[in-house]
Chains A and B, each alone.
Chain A
Amino acid sequence: MSFTRRPGFALSTGITLLGTSLMILLPLAALAMKAIHAKAGTFGAVLSNPRVQTACLFSLGAALAAALFNLVWGSLIAWVLVRYPFPGRRLADALVDLPFALPTAVAGLTLSSLYGPKGWIGHLIPFPVVYNRLGVVLALSFVSLPFVVRSLQPVLEELPREMEEAAACLGATRWATLRKVVLPQLLPAILSGFALSFARAVGEYGSVVFVSGNLPFKTEIAPLLIVVKLEQYDYDGAVALAVIMLAVSLLVLTTIHLLHRRFGGATHHV
């Protein structure tokens, strides 16, 4: 059967493409157009600027660090929420989504006052947590935490317990069962949670400006630099920076996607 003959194909595809075009492709195309019309040499100037280089590398590094942190922490939260019935589990489950609902500026302010030198938690910690690079990673982890939990949770719920029982009967220790039976089956979900987490963290701006201190060459992130350029009416510079960040993010996401394909081959349960 030709795929064009499937019922509803034309209508549903049309609506989907229109929506995608209006909401995603058009803004990106506008960005690309703007970049093409930028003054000659803008890209070179932006790329070779050490402040820009530092900010871009820091943005990517901090987003990766936050995504990695969430990989571990988020997996743990998902595991506890699915596997252990405890009083208040439903409430805890609902709390996971809170970072999504909270305006990011509020998140940033809250974190900076909690973890600041005189904050409730901050004064207990012997080293400074906010207004440095650690603070940026903390804020990025906070806003992107739900992704790993929410990607992993349904997969974990569907994972048959019998598989672990079978492994135990075959003499596998709990650790061997986790490593050889459970984790390989969760890997695709963990990876996609990681990718979403990373993507969210790279673009985050609102919370970071409140916890980072925004020191050039230290805690300045690329999205902040874009805003700085806009405030200086350097539209070409802002666009160039945006395109560079977009390209790098795309590269990272594609890599994760390829990894996902590599490990996602055998996820159906038998």
Chain B
Amino acid sequence: MSIEVRNLTKRLGGKTILDRVNLEIPEGSLMALLGPSGSGKTTLLRVIAGLESPDEGDVLVRGESNTVRRPQDRHVGFVFQHYALFPHMSVRQNVAFGLDVKPRALRPSKEVIRARVDELLELIQMDSYGSRLPAELSGGQRQRVALARALAVEPKVLLLDEPFGALDAQVRAELRQWLRRLHDVSKVTTVLVTHDQEEAMEVADTVAVMNRARVEQVGHPRDIYDHPATAFVARFVGQMNQLHQVADGTAFARPHEMELSLDASEGEAAQVVKLVSMGPLARLRLRLPSGLELDAHLTRERLAQLQITEGTHLFVRPGKVSIFADDYSI
């Protein structure tokens, strides 16, 4: 089901949390709402879910206004950062909850519910955990149960609020790959809120970058990285070195686009103050005589070639520069 967010505004205690937000989420796609905390991304998700009502604007699901309906009638699956599982119910009872509470006329038979729960437990690879209580599961398992619970009612839209935020890095990486595969199979229109750019880049078809109550840029993950529309996006998505002021703004360059040389004719003098070498990439922190610090990434080969260690004096020059108009709001 496609979702269309139209001119959505939400204020809370004199603060504008969403400022005329427009967003279109195509049918069957997976969109990430990416932004720092306080950018309004979670509020936007909650308005789409009907857990908050907007002050202005509308949310259309398949062309129909959804803001007038109660959350119960919106057919939205919502997954919370802290799982929000029902602690007194077993895994099975949690997953079956949405089916069990359907009005009698619409409620499937006990056998159908059991079969559906079996199917979902298999999908989340937790067939043998049905009788456990949530307290007896790990964080990653709990979140998978929460996801199965949301999927049980076959929602039109799946909304995930920082679903992996409370998990450790390794489990997080596993779960997001799993989520992507799940989405490829189920094709439920999904919105994922995250502050983790890697997560957004890896999982989503489309990324919407939010900052200070507004959507700054919507696009394919690669386009957002390669062609950031604003200075905020450039700095928030991937690393960015802020260089110098130019006539119409400020110049920025990515760390991997910094060119290093030992030849004085090529760029500005700098000293390596920190060198971290892990995997195929070496990460350098350079200090210019002006006090400005820059990040540079280069391959192991290039590192060996230049014989760089901490303390080495060298010359640096940005290979590619992006210029953004000054935005004093950052």
Contact = CB atoms under 8 A, between A and B. Distances in A.
Given A169-B71, A169-B77, A268-B135, A176 B83 contact: no
B78 A270 contact: no
Contact of B84 (A165, A172, A266, A267): A165
Given A266-B87, A270-B135, A171 B150 contact: no
A171 B72 CA distance: 4
A160 B101 CA distance: 20
B150 A169 contact: yes
A180 B78 CA distance: 19
Chain A, interface SS category: helix
* Contact-size category for A: 20 to 34
Given A169-B76, A170-B153, A266 B97 contact: no
A173 interface: yes
Given A170-B150, A172-B97, A162 B71 contact: no
Nearest to B46: A165
Nearest to A184: B88
A167 B153 CA distance: 12
Contact of B78 (A166, A172, A185): A166
Nearest to B106: A171
A53 B260 CA distance: 99
Interface residues of B, number: 33
Contact of B101 (A171, A268, A269, A270): A171
Nearest to A175: B101
B183 to A, nearest CB: 19
B147 to A, nearest CB: 12
Nearest to B73: A171
A173 B101 contact: yes
Contacts of A162: 80, 82, 84
B86 to A, nearest CB: 6
A168 interface: yes
A269 B87 contact: yes
A270 B71 contact: no
A194 B152 CA distance: 38
A181 B88 CA distance: 8
Interface in B310-326: none
A267 B75 CA distance: 29
Nearest to A187: B88
A163 interface: yes
B85 to A, nearest CB: 5
Contacts of A181: 86
A171 B153 contact: yes
A173 B106 CA distance: 14
Interface in A178-214: 180-181, 184-185
B3 interface: no
Nearest to B93: A180
A176 B107 CA distance: 14
B134 interface: yes
A169 B87 contact: no
A227 B229 CA distance: 87
B102 interface: yes
A34 to B, nearest CB: 46
B87 A168 contact: no
Contacts of B51: 165, 168-169
B87 A172 contact: no
Contact of A166 (B50, B84, B134): B84
A270 B141 CA distance: 12
Contact of B87 (A165, A170, A180, A268): A268
12 contacts: A165-B80, A166-B149, A167-B86, A168-B71, A168-B72, A169-B72, A169-B150, A171-B98, A172-B101, A269-B87, A270-B134, A270-B135
Given A170-B153, A171-B98, 14 more contacts: A165-B78, A166-B149, A168-B72, A169-B49, A169-B72, A170-B97, A171-B101, A171-B153, A172-B97, A173-B72, A266-B133, A266-B135, A270-B85, A270-B87
Minimum-distance CB pairs A-B, first 8:
A170-B98, A270-B134, A162-B84, A266-B88, A172-B101, A166-B84, A169-B78, A168-B71
